[in-house]
Amino acid sequence: DTGVSQDPRHKITKRGQNVTFRCDPISEHNRLYWYRQTLGQGPEFLTYFQNEAQLEKSRLLSDRFSAERPKGSFSTLEIQRTEQGDSAMYLCASSMDSIAIYFGEGSWLTVV
């Protein structure tokens, strides 16, 4: 069990560019979550997958954001036409039909 893995860990991009983050959940975990965290705040829920199905999306997830989990294993979060307000830590988490949700190390995004 290697834990939730996220890549890249840090990304600096220019405003208007697209970025994509990848998440590999804990093996056999069927639930996968994306959260966003800004300085001084707790993580905010973005979206949730059970296996390959995206079951819920937050209002925070504007049309510029899209997430996929094509084979029910890894997931990607893409942000199109990035804005400075997108700068945050993007956290992936997973769980296996249980209450406990485990986070990855996060992907830091800085939009300049």
Looking at the Cβ atoms of 5 and 80, the one nearer to another protein is 5
Looking at the Cβ atoms of 82 and 107, the one nearer to another protein is 107
Looking at the Cβ atoms of 14 and 98, the one nearer to another protein is 98
Q: Does 55 sit near another protein (CB under 8 A)?
A: yes
Count the site residues for another protein by CB under 8 A.
24
Written as one letter, the residue type at 62 is: S
Using an 8 Å Cβ cutoff, are 92 and 32 in contact? Answer: yes
- Report residue 87 as tokens: 């700068």
Q: Where are the alpha helices (DSSP H) in the chain?
A: none
Among 19, 32, 88, 91, binds another protein (CB under 8 A): 91
Among 61, 89, 109, 111, binds another protein (CB under 8 A): 89
Under DSSP, is residue 56 helix (H, G, I), strand (E, B) or coil? strand
10-13 and 107-111 strand pairing: parallel
